[in-house]
Amino acid sequence: EARQIGHGEESSAQSAERLKSAMASSKEKMDERMAARHSALKEKWANSRSDAAEAGSVSEASNEFWQHFQSEKGSIEQALESAERLTRERSQGETAAALESLLLRAMDLQEMIAQHTHELPKYDVKRALNEAEETQACIQRAKGKLVPRKKFAFGKKKAASAGTVGEGGSRSAAGCPPAISQETPPAVPPSTPGSIGLAVAEASHSFIGKTSETLVVRPGELQGTSGTDYFLKDLKSCVVVLLDTLSALKIENIRDCKVYTGPIAGSTFARNVHSSSLFLNLRQLRIHDSTDTRWFVRAASGPIIEDCQGMHFASYPLSYPELAGLTESAGLTGSPESAWRDVKDFKWHRTQASPNWDTLLEADWAEPIAPQAKGLVLNSLCPPEVEAELSPEAAGANPPMVSEEDEDEDEL
């Protein structure tokens, strides 16, 4: 009986020890959970304060941007109203110059947006872009109203070394048939007459609805006209050479084309450009809805792309005798040599580099000039022996050539 009592007391002591140990272990685990929870709450509070500070910083940057943006936009709108009131007191040339100056200021609004893209919420960027585009559209409408295009009359055509002007304005070498027959199907979906008329009304000059033609504007050819902006629309497999100074260039719906330009004092807006190569010396470049295209660019600010894929950028390598003087008169001599690399993708908001564009290897900067444009421009980076291999004679190329004068007569 004594042994049983002693065994019972020992069992009770062991049970009590196990209970005490279990309670200590449970308390230790609870303390660990409480410490972890406290640490998590501290981190959450710290993050909340950081997010609030960041939101405050973004809000402050947004407010500063909109204050500056709206101030400049309002100043442009007031100047436009003044230009419209003073139309009767100014010559048409003075009005055109005033409106083109305002157009450049409106284009600078886009550069302002580009510089603040990473500081602004996406909805702010979209809103600002819409307002900048509407400001430009208002100026273009005023220009179409106050500085109407010159009226053209049929007359004797200028002789051209590329050949004679055939029926319908196409140009071919003497004795050679045009490269495009009447049965050739349209290369791009044709625009409706109304949309073409609107586009032409908003631009001083245009090449629209061409297939496999060489379209040329030589240095000085636009001097004395009512405006120097250009519109390229619905072109397929064309070679476009615009060597006079332009105030602005708009491009819409071109495919398999080569475009060579001299200085563009303002901006170029391009939409639906596919499988083409463009050589542009300009102030600003904005590209929408385009694919698989090379852009050889000298610009005052980085190009802007939106809804694009396969955009390839390189430095502008063109050369022709009048280029340096025209570039200086257009105010582009101070353009940074490397601005073409500073591409901004407005639809790519991640920290990683956008997959929608890249820079061409330097070996690809020496893209040969199209045979149809030989004698008009040179690629200073292309070896002479390569250029010789692709000369018009070697390539057997003699496509129709259309000049600015031919285009104006076709519109009639």
Asked if residue 342 and residue 264 are part of one domain, the reply reads yes
> Are residues 61 and 184 located together in one domain of the fold?
no
β-partners of residue 379 are 318
Residue (of 331, 326, 289, 325) closest to 310 by Cα position: 289
Specify whether 86 is located in the same domain as 194.
no
- 319 token code pair: 């050369």
The residue from 147, 172, 189 where one domain ends is 147
Q: How many domains does the chain have?
A: 2
Q: Does 2 reside within a domain? A: no
Structure tokens at 399: 């496509």
| Domain-embedded: residue 128 | yes
238 and 372 share one domain: yes
Are 55 and 176 members of one domain?
A: no
By CB atoms closer than 10 A (0-12, 13-18, 19+), residue 11 is exposed
Distances (CA, A) of 307 to 260, 310, 344, 346: 24, 11, 12, 8
Q: What is the Rg, in whole angstroms, of the alpha carbon atoms belonging to the chain?
A: 33
One domain, residues 295 and 355: yes
Cβ atoms within 10 Å, residue 342: 14
| Residues 141, 174 within the same domain | no
Query: Looking at residue 187, what is its pLDDT?
Result: 45
Backbone dihedral angles phi then psi of residue 180, each to the nearest 5 degrees? -115, 125
Q: Would you say residue 5 lies in a domain?
A: no
- CA–chain centroid gap for 287, Å, is 3
* Residue 157 covered by a domain: no
Task: Supply the CATH number for residue 131's domain.
Answer: 1.20.58.1250
Give the closest residue to 79 by CA, choosing from 149, 147, 135: 135
- Can you give the residue range of the structural domain that contains 136? 10-147
Q: Which residues contact 387 (CB under 8 A, 6 or more apart)?
A: 368, 369, 374, 378, 379
Q: What is the pLDDT of residue 388?
A: 65
> Quick one: how far is CA 110 from the chain centroid?
10
pLDDT reported for residue 384 = 77
Considering the domain boundaries, does residue 156 fall inside one? no
- Residues written for the chain: 412
Q: Are 201 and 131 in the same domain? A: no
| Residue 169: per-residue pLDDT | 35
Task: Say whether both 184 and 135 belong to one domain.
Answer: no
Which of 153, 151, 306, 165 lies closest to 225, judged by CA?
Answer: 151
Assess if residue 159 is contained within a domain: no
Q: Give a yes or no: residue 137 inside a domain.
A: yes
Looking at the structure, do residues 74 and 125 belong to the same domain, yes or no? yes
Per-residue pLDDT of the chain (412 residues; tens, 9 = 90+): 555 555 555 666 666 677 667 666 766 777 777 777 767 766 766 665 555 555 555 678 888 889 989 999 999 999 998 888 887 777 777 787 788 788 878 878 877 887 787 778 888 888 988 898 899 889 888 888 887 665 433 333 343 333 333 333 333 333 333 333 333 334 445 544 444 444 444 567 999 999 999 999 999 999 877 678 899 999 999 999 999 999 899 999 999 999 999 999 988 999 999 999 999 999 989 999 999 999 999 998 899 999 999 999 999 999 999 999 999 998 898 888 889 999 999 888 777 889 999 999 988 999 999 999 999 999 999 887 666 665 554 444 445 566 655 555 554 4
Question: Is 234 domain-assigned?
Answer: yes
239 and 365 part of one domain: yes
Cα separations (Å) of 255 from 205, 217, 235? 20, 20, 6
H/E element holding 123? helix 122-146
- CATH number of the domain where residue 283 is located: 2.160.20.70
Domain boundary among 147, 176, 202: 147
Domain boundary among 147, 175, 191: 147
SS3 breakdown of the chain: % helix, strand, coil, rounded to 5? Answer: 45, 25, 30
Q: Is the dihedral of CA 152, 197, 286, 237 positive or negative?
A: negative
Nearest partner of 242 among 263, 256, 268, judged by Cα = 263
Which of 151, 141, 154 is closest to 226 using CA atoms? 151
Q: Are residues 109 and 184 in the same domain?
A: no
| 3-state SS, residue 188 | coil
Largest CA distance in the chain: 140
Given this model, what pLDDT does residue 42 score? 66
